[in-house]
Structures are given as C-alpha cells and as structure tokens.
C-alpha cells in the first residue's frame, strides 16, 4: 500500500496545498455552485494524477469562476458517468 493511498485528505486540504486563495474561495461556495466546483475540481485533480503533473492554479480558479456563474464546463471524458 502506498503512502498516498493510506493518507486520505479532504478536498479543502488538497486545495490549500495547490493555492490557499482558491481554497478560501472554494470554502465560501454553497449549494449548486459548490457541487459544480467540486465535480470540476475532482475531475481536474484526477486528470493531473493520471498524467502525473501538478494541478494548475489557473484551471482551479476558472472552475470556481464558472461554478459561481452556474456554468458546468468539463473536458471530454471516456467515462459516461461523468459526461456533461
């Protein structure tokens, strides 16, 4: 078992490691905007993990901005469960 698998951290904690400003913005979200942002950020983090790259602060900022405006925008996916 890897250390990463044994240590689960919350989305808020992971965002703090990426950018504390975006973590604060995310923490202020409620309702549908928070749901949209959560889904978008999780997709971004999964994609970054798959490609073994660091998460992009600008992408997280854009996801939160879109969620605040009620836009659910995602990249294409092969997994139909997450298709927009």
Two structure tokens written together for 64: 């939160």
Helix (H) or strand (E) run with residue 64 in it: helix 57-68
Tens-digit pLDDT profile for residues 6-29: 467 899 999 999 999 999 999 999
Tokens read off for 32: 């549908």
Residue ranges per structural domain of the chain: 32-84
Inform me whether the pLDDT recorded for 60 exceeds 70: yes
- pTM of this prediction? 0.76
């Amino acid at each position: 078992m890897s250390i990463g698998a044994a240590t689960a951290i919350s989305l808020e904690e992971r965002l703090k490691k990426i950018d504390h400003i975006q973590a604060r913005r995310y923490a202020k979200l409620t309702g549908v905007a928070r749901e949209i942002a959560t889904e978008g950020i999780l997709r971004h983090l999964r994609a970054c993990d798959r490609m073994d790259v660091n998460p992009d602060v600008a992408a997280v900022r854009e996801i939160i901005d879109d969620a605040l405006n009620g836009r659910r925008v995602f990249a294409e996916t092969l997994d139909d469960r997450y298709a927009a």
